[in-house]
Amino acid sequence: MQLPPALHARLAGAPGSAEPLPVERDPAARTAPFRFAPRPVRFPREHDFFEEGDVQRHLYLQDVLMQVGGAPERPRVPEFTCQVAGCCQVFDALEDYEHHYHTLHRNVCSFCKRAFPSGHLLDTHILEWHDSLFQILAERQDMYQCLVEGCTEKFRTSRDRKEHLVMRHLYPADFRFDKPRKSRGPVMPGAAEQVLAEALGDDGVPSEGDAMEVCSEHVEPPPVPAGERRAYSHRCLARI
Amino acid sequence: MWSRQRGRLKPLCCGVEELRCRRREREAALRKARREQQLVSKRLLRDEALEEAEEGCVAMIFGEAEIQQFLQLAQRGTEEKEREGALVSLRRGLQRPETQQTFIRLEGSIRTLVGLLTSNQALLQLEAARCLHELSHSEQSAVVEACLPATSYLLTYLSGHSSDFIELCLYTLGNLIVESEAVRRQLLPQGIVPALAACIQSPHLTVLEALGYALSQLLQAKEAPEKIIPSVLGSTLPQHMLQLLQPGPKLNLGVAVEFAWCLHYIICSQVNNALLITQGALSTLGLLLLDLAGAVQRTEDAGLELFLLQKQPSLLPEGLWLLNNLTANSPSFCTSLLSLDLIEPLLHLLSVSNVVSVLVLTVLCNVAEKGPAYCQRLWPGPLLSSLLDTLAFSDTEVVGQSLELLQLLFLYQPGAAQAFLQQSGLQALQRHEEVAQLQDRVHALQQTALHG
């Protein structure tokens, strides 16, 4: 049985569907013992009706079913170097290069050469670090924008913003993209956390791959109490 | 890089019968899990090319000391290749649950991993993300919840540009989401919905499929109708989802499958379907269904029975349910069904299963109950002989629905009762005379047939 050609055309919006036939019911139709009455049916999501479909879905997720659409082959290419000035990273696969480029060269501040994971964070950084108008306005109104995409709250100080990030958005207190600007003096005592984070791949020289501070105010980092040498995972769970 | 060659078949290391057996076992386990509301499935992304290269090296179980060593080397090694290599070894070890347990219990381990995830070394970042991904796939909640400190970063990276990395973050997030409500209670205030709404504009199909997966896990949560779906509906996500389901040359099945499931979870939660309708959900989905039907047809022989669903019997109930809801209170849909000659294809479905037969008969009743003008179009034709066939079924619901349809035909179509008698209808009715749920209706029909 072929799919009726008229069906496709009709449901795709072709005009000319006939007027509906006249409806004329006889009251004898629904008299006992007969009880049929047309009605739309709704199934709640846990209903058994959906069991078969759910099972198929989960088999698919577990890769037991044949996947639709495989990933294309990723070829190796002859070695090449990153073309960005000052970078000598070598690659033999385009995808490796793609990630490298996007991480280190894409959202780079042209003033201080710091790299950011997204355009949004870069824009925020430029505004707060390199825009003198921002500094002036910030003295009189709330200018520090929340970093979470979709949140329109603004704050008077970066410290207030950090507090908002932690309390309202459950961000970690040492969120790496909201670190205070490094002071020009010696490393502050008690800033053990910062040293650890900073030590990761950072040789202290501001270069293209430097730590991604966003906020420009100098904020005293909270000292790490001696007793709190716990695994990070535990601390976060306690907050929940 | 991170190539998933999922379309490729792995060489069979066990017989076909064993595969079938495993599949049956998996199905049974899933059914059981669903009944207990414990349906949790995760997606694991692994580089199969890499795995093949590493074949023969079974993932080791690492102890504390070894894990410490790998982490220290990754953090402070001098050679970049060395640092990467350390993380690669760690990642392979993390394929074992024992290693995962040891890892999360080790003080500072997650913290270090998160530090590497956010470092400025791109390839280290990637390997760290892969380690997290392995952890996210665990069946132990403790292991999965240990990944919570990373979520704000995973979300931040969704606004980046490196498609493979974003894909990895999304699958990791999806795995975390499905694990526990504690995870979701953190992710929602962290802004996962706006992050996904921004990310869905990516042109990369792999990213979109991963996003669909993560979103479907979010929407499947039991608290979704109250806590998640309203904000999803309030975002730009539905519009983009519908766009990705538009039929045409750009439709990608892997992506479409994920977003179809997302829509299913939203719609059957009955939160605000009217909104979806105003965004064109009905026409998009209708056209998509047609497009898929056409595709199924094109790949089959001319002998194909049914207009859409013969190959996928599990889809028949859904399709017919849809038809029921469309025809129940709509004279124009019923008229369309008749004028588009869809009655005969429907009748062909009567032999598939009891559930399907009841649904088909219900749809036919929806049409017939609208009166003589409709019954006239159902007559003559194969309908009577199909009904006589269904009367031979033993399932009471099927027979009951057949009796309802017969009554409507007798009432509205002159000559129907006569034809019924002539084709030994009475004998067909007789076998159900003693059945409790059927006898009243059987007797009524016998009377009508005999005496008009």
Lowest mean pLDDT among A79-93, B170-184, B189-203: A79-93
pLDDT bucket at B234, cuts 50 / 70 / 90: very high
| Contacts within 8 Å (CB) and 24+ apart, A195-199 | A196/B111, A196/B115, A197/B115, A197/B118, A199/B75, A199/B76
Is a pLDDT exceeding 70 seen at residue B274? yes
Distance from C-alpha of B139 to C-alpha of A235, rounded to nearest angstrom: 22
Three-state secondary structure call for residue A93: strand
Lowest mean pLDDT among A120-124, A138-142, B286-290: B286-290
Cα–Cα dist A97/B161, whole Å = 12
Determine the Cα–Cα distance for residues A100 and B120; give it in Å rounded to an integer: 9
Inter-chain contact B307–A1, Cβ cutoff 8 Å? yes
* pLDDT score for B4: 42
Cβ neighbourhood burial of A145 (10 Å; 0-12, 13-18, 19+): middle
CB-CB neighbors (< 8 A) of B339 in chain A: 6, 17-18
Q: Superfamily assignment of B284-296+311-451 in CATH? A: Leucine-rich Repeat Variant (1.25.10.10)
How do residues A198-229 score in pLDDT, each as one tens digit?
333 333 333 333 344 444 333 333 444 444 44
Q: Looking at per-residue confidence, does A236 or B10 come out higher? A: B10
Instruction: State the pLDDT at residue B245.
Output: 94
Cβ-Cβ pairs closer than 8 A, A with B, add up to 324
pLDDT of residue B114: 96
Q: Which of A96, A117, A233 sits opposite B156 (nearest CB)?
A: A117
pLDDT tops 80 at residue B59: no
Q: Which of residues 61-120 of A touch B (CB under 8 A)?
A: 61-64, 67-74, 93-96, 98-104, 106-107, 115, 117-120
Q: Mind listing the pLDDT tens digit for each residue in A87-100?
A: 888 887 777 788 88
How much of chain A, in percent, has pLDDT values that exceed 70?
62
Token representation of residue B307: 């207009």
pLDDT at B297: 62
For the stretch B281-335, pLDDT in tens is 988 888 887 787 776 666 543 333 344 555 566 677 888 888 899 899 999 889 8
Cα A238 to chain centroid, rounded: 24
Q: Answer yes or no: is pLDDT of A168 > 90.
A: yes
Averaged over A106-127, what is the pLDDT?
Answer: 90
> What is the reported pLDDT for A64?
56
Chain B contact set for A18 (CB, 8 A): 335, 339
B-chain residue closest to A3, CA distance: B307
Task: Decide: A51 and A173 in contact? Cβ < 8 Å.
Answer: no
Helix (H) or strand (E) holding A154: strand A154-155
Report the distance separating Cα B273 and Cα B269, nearest Å: 9
The answer to whether the CB atoms of A24 and B372 lie below 8 A apart is yes
Q: Which structure tokens are listed for B1?
A: 């890089």
Query: Mind telling me how many Å the CA of B157 is from chain A's nearest CA?
Result: 6
State the pLDDT confidence band at B54, using cuts at 50, 70 and 90.
low
Whether B378 contacts B338, CB under 8 Å = yes
Q: Which residues have a Cβ under 8 Å from the Cβ of B327 and sit 6 or more positions away?
A: A38, B333, B334, B337, B363, B366, B367
Tell me the pLDDT of chain A averaged across its residues: 71
Q: How confident is the model at residue A75 (pLDDT cuts 50, 70, 90)?
A: low
- The residue of A8, A58, A94, A151 whose CB has the most chain B CBs within 10 angstroms, and thus the best one to mutate to test that interface, is A58
**A142 CA: distance to closest CA in chain B (Å):** 22
**What is the structure's pLDDT at B319?**
81
Residue B55 reports pLDDT greater than 70: no
Contacts 24+ apart (CB under 8 A), B226-230: B227/B184, B227/B188, B228/B184, B228/B188, B228/B193, B229/B265, B229/B266, B229/B269, B229/B271, B230/B271, B230/B272
What ipTM, to 2 d.p.? Answer: 0.81
Please answer whether residues B40 and B179 qualify as being in contact, where contact means their C-beta atoms are separated by less than 8 angstroms.
yes
B191:A197 CB<8 A: no
Radius of gyration of chain B (CA): 29
What mean pLDDT, rounded, does chain B reach?
87
In DSSP terms, A144 is beta-bridged to A155
pLDDT digits (tens, 9 = 90+) for B337-363: 888 888 888 898 888 889 889 999 999
DSSP per-residue codes, B8-19: SPPPPSS-HHHH
The per-residue pLDDT for B286 is 81
Q: Which of residues 3-42 of A touch B (CB under 8 A)?
A: 3-4, 6-8, 10-13, 17-26, 28-29, 32-42
Listed by number, the residues of chain B in 398-437 with a beta carbon closer than 8 Å to a beta carbon of chain A are 401, 403-404, 407-408, 411-412
The pLDDT of residue B381 is: 84
Option in B268, B314, B371 nearest A52 (CB): B314
Task: Answer yes or no: is pLDDT of B441 > 90.
Answer: yes
> Which residue is it, tokens 């105010």?
A217
Q: How confident is the model at residue A151 (pLDDT cuts 50, 70, 90)?
A: very high
Q: What is the pLDDT of residue B304?
A: 33
Query: How far apart, in whole angstroms, are the C-alpha atoms of residue B141 and residue B222?
Result: 17
pLDDT of residue A183: 40
- pLDDT grade, residue B51 (50/70/90)? low
Q: Which of B169-178, B215-224, B240-249, B283-292 has the lowest mean pLDDT?
A: B283-292
Mean pLDDT score, B427-449: 92
DSSP sequence for A23-82? P---GGGG-TT-----------TTSGGGHHHHHHHHHHHTT-SPPSSPPPP--EEEEEE-
Residue type, B221: A
Q: Which residues of A touch B198 (CB under 8 A)?
A: 149
**How close, in Å, is residue A169 to chain B by CA atoms?**
5
In this predicted structure, the answer to whether residue A184 has a pLDDT above a threshold of 50 is no
- Which residues from chain A sit within 8 angstroms of residue B7, using beta carbons? 67, 69-71
**pTM for the full predicted model:** 0.79
* Per-residue confidence (pLDDT) for residue B290, from 0 to 100: 76
C-alpha closest to that of A228 among B177, B107, B244, B42: B107
> What percentage of chain B has pLDDT greater than the value 70?
90
At residue B420 the predicted structure's pLDDT band, cuts being 50, 70 and 90, is: very high
Average pLDDT of span B112-139? 93
Cβ distance of B257 and A42 shorter than 8 Å: no
pLDDT in tens, B359-383: 999 999 999 999 999 999 998 889 9
CA atoms of A59 and B30, how far apart (whole Å): 8
* Contact status, residue B266 vs residue B229, Cβ threshold 8 Å: yes
Whether residue B170 is predicted with pLDDT greater than 50 in this model: the reply is: yes
Average pLDDT over every residue of B179-196 = 94
Predicted confidence band of residue A240 (pLDDT cuts 50, 70, 90)? very low
Q: Which residue has the higher pLDDT, A138 or B340?
A: A138
